[in-house]
Amino acid sequence: MARWDNTPTSSIPDWFWEAVETPSEERFVEVEECDVCYRVWGGAEDAEKPGMLLIHGMNAHSRWWDFIAPQLLDDYRVAAMDLTGMGDSDYRYTYEAGTYAREIVSVCDAAGLDSDVVVVGHSFGGVMAVKAANLHPDRFGGLVLVDSGIRHPDEPPSNQPLMGGGRPKVYPDRESAENRFRLYPPQPCENRYIMDYIARHSLLQVDGGWAWKFDEELPLTTKGTDREPDDYTGIPIPVGIVYGAESKSFTPSTLDYTLELIGRDVPVVAVADAQHHVFLDQPLAFIDALKQVLDRLPS
């Protein structure tokens, strides 16, 4: 990526530039008549390393991991995917958990990630990874949930605004669109350079201007994607958890209930001074936390 011409770079750390300028290859695999986009880091010399697949949250995409994936290449061959309806993958008329599970398996197959692959899923991506692990347990070696679990039935519902659907918002120019980029669930993020980077990769040009890449109809057309207690009861592969210590989406009650359902030893690391978007708030601390969990994940 070329360095930004109009963005002050004095406060952007060198590790970030080194990460986002690490080469990756964009590829596509067809799943149920839709093209699913994914990215792969590492070359032929990394083929013998265990695989890792990174999955984004709702309305996000694989480029959210551009500054994370390169930090893991010493130990893993890393891929990141765009679930359909998001990023550069195709849209569907309806989005179902079983289809998302098949997309995850298909990307692992196409990327050459063996059955020891560890799937790291943030938020909604973690929910779909849990669905995939239950449907295809022999395909994965482990699962790390990033600020992703299931609320206890007695826990008060979140007061976060609901994600709506409707006509795509079109902005007259790229700059106007980038300035409107917001996180969901809503939260501040002090790392403005990360927000700017993600915003730049979240847009596509359409008739009349610029729009976000995700399908605005997603909230109205998803089926079977809700968190269900049965999904978490005895997940059939090793599981670890990384979460933001200040997250409003992953509370202590959520952690306790998720662990109760899994029903066995699960390595857990809380990232201090991080909210739901853990790796945007504290990217280097997140990498350390992820590595800690991976080291403790049962074989």
* Residue 50 one-letter amino acid: P
Domain 24-158+222-296: which topology? Rossmann fold (3.40.50)
Task: Encode the chain (299 residues) as per-residue pLDDT tens digits.
Answer: 344 545 566 689 999 999 999 999 999 999 999 999 999 998 778 788 999 999 999 999 999 999 999 999 999 999 999 999 999 999 999 999 999 999 999 999 999 999 999 999 999 999 999 999 999 999 999 999 999 999 999 988 776 655 555 567 899 999 999 999 999 999 999 999 999 999 999 999 999 999 999 999 999 999 999 999 999 999 999 999 999 999 999 999 999 999 999 999 999 999 999 999 999 999 999 999 999 999 999 87
pTM as predicted? 0.95
Beta strands in the chain (DSSP E): 24-31, 34-41, 51-55, 77-81, 95-96, 118-122, 142-146, 203-206, 209-212, 222-223, 239-244, 268-271
Query: Do residues 65 and 79 make contact, with C-beta atoms less than 8 angstroms apart?
Result: no
* Residue 271 one-letter amino acid: V
Q: Where are the domains of the chain?
A: 24-158+222-296
* 3-class SS of residue 86: coil
Q: Answer whether the bond into residue 156 is a cis peptide, omega within 30°.
A: no
